[in-house]
Amino acid sequence: MATALITGATAGIGAAFARALAARGDDLILVARDAERLAATAARLGTEHGVAVETIRADLSVRADVLAVAARLEDARRPVDLLVNNAGFGLHRKLLDPDFSEHENALDVMCLAVLILCGAAARAMRARGRGRIINVASLAAWLTTGNYSPVKAWVKVYSEALSNELHGSGVTVTALCPGWVRTEFHQRAGIRTAAIPDWVWVDADRCAAEALAAADKGRMISVPTRRWKAARFVADLAPRAAVRWASRMLSASRD
C-alpha cells in the first residue's frame, strides 16, 4: 500500500487524482484551502474505497502553510510515495497591469510552492531509493499567453531539471501537460468558454489516469489524448513566430 499527497485535491484534476489513487487502494493526504470541502472529500473517499485519508488545510501562497506541507512530506516515520503538485488557477490580468498581486500569487502557488514541496519530497524519497513526483504543468507551456504560459513553462522545465538531479536515484518526475480540461478552473478565473468546441475538452479523470500511467513507467512528460499529443508535436516543430501569432489570436479571443 502506498501513500500519495495531492495539492488542490478538492476539485478538478486534483480530485480526479484523489479518486484514481483511492480506487487503487492508496492512502491519501489531501491539501487545499477550503476546510469543509477537504473534510467532505476525505470522508467520501475514505468510505467509498476504505483507504486512510488525511487532510492538511493550507494556502500554498502562504510560506508557513507550504512549510507545514513540506514537513509532512519529509516526515520519515510516515513516508509519502507519490507527490502530486496540482494546485493552481487561471490568470486573467495583463502583464502591463500595475496591480501585480495576481501574478505574485501565481508565482507563489504554482512555482515557489512546487519548488519547496518537490525539494522536501525528493530528499525523503531519494533517501529511501524510490518515489514518484507528478507536477501539473499545461500545454500552455508551449504557448506565449500572458503570465500563465511562463508559469507553466517554468513547471515543465523545472520538472525536467529535477528529474536530472534525481537521475539514477529511483525517484522519477513527470510533468502532466493537458490542454483544456473541464474543471472549475475557467469559471474561477473568469475565462469565457462558450466558444470552445466540445471536442477540444479533456476529461479530468482521463488526465489523472494518463499521468499516473506515465509516472508508473517513469516518463518525463504526459500529454493526455491523441489530439493534444498531436498539438504538442506541431508546437514543438512550429517556428516560434507562428506560436506567438497563435498565442496572440488566442489571447485576443478572450478579451
CB of 140 to ligand NAP, least distance (A): 7
**Among 46-54, 122-130, 182-190, 235-243, which window interacts with ligand NAP (CB under 6 A)?**
182-190
Specify the residue, 50 or 224, whose C-beta has the smaller distance to ligand NAP: 224
| 138 DSSP assignment | -
Contacts of 221 (CB under 8 A, 6+ apart): 156, 174, 175, 177, 214
For 104, the grid coordinates are 505574485
SS3 assignment for 32-66: ECCHHHHHHHHHHHHHHHCCCEEEEECCCCCHHHH
x/- string (CB under 6 A) for ligand NAP, residues 104-123? -----xx-------------
Catalytic residues: 148
Looking only at the bridges linking them, the beta strands covering 171-176 and 131-136 are parallel
Question: What whole-number distance in Å separates Cα of residue 249 and Cα of residue 251?
Answer: 6
Among positions 12, 131, 146, 150, the unique one binding ligand NAP when judged by CB under 6 A: 12
Contact between 208 and ligand NAP per CB under 6 A? no
Contact between 91 and ligand NAP per CB under 6 A? no
CB of 199 to ligand NAP, least distance (A): 14
| Cα dihedral across residues 43, 47, 48, 54: positive or negative | positive
Specify the residue, 37 or 229, whose C-beta has the smaller distance to ligand NAP: 37
| 195 DSSP assignment | T
Number of residues lying near ligand NAP (CB under 6 A): 31
Contacts of 63 (CB under 8 A, 6+ apart): none
Contact between 227 and ligand NAP per CB under 6 A? no
Contact between 61 and ligand NAP per CB under 6 A? yes
Q: What is the dihedral of CA 156, 161, 85, 252, to 10 degrees?
A: -20
Contact between 21 and ligand NAP per CB under 6 A? no
Q: For residue 22, what is the enclosing H or E element? A: helix 12-23
Among positions 4, 5, 14, 55, the unique one binding ligand NAP when judged by CB under 6 A: 14
Contact between 178 and ligand NAP per CB under 6 A? yes
Question: What whole-number distance in Å separates Cα of residue 223 and Cα of residue 176?
Answer: 6
Contact between 70 and ligand NAP per CB under 6 A? no
CB of 152 to ligand NAP, least distance (A): 7
Contact between 181 and ligand NAP per CB under 6 A? yes
Kindly list the residues in this chain that would bind ligand NAP in the complex (CB under 6 A): 7-14, 32-34, 37, 58-61, 86-89, 109-110, 136, 138, 178, 180-181, 183-185, 188
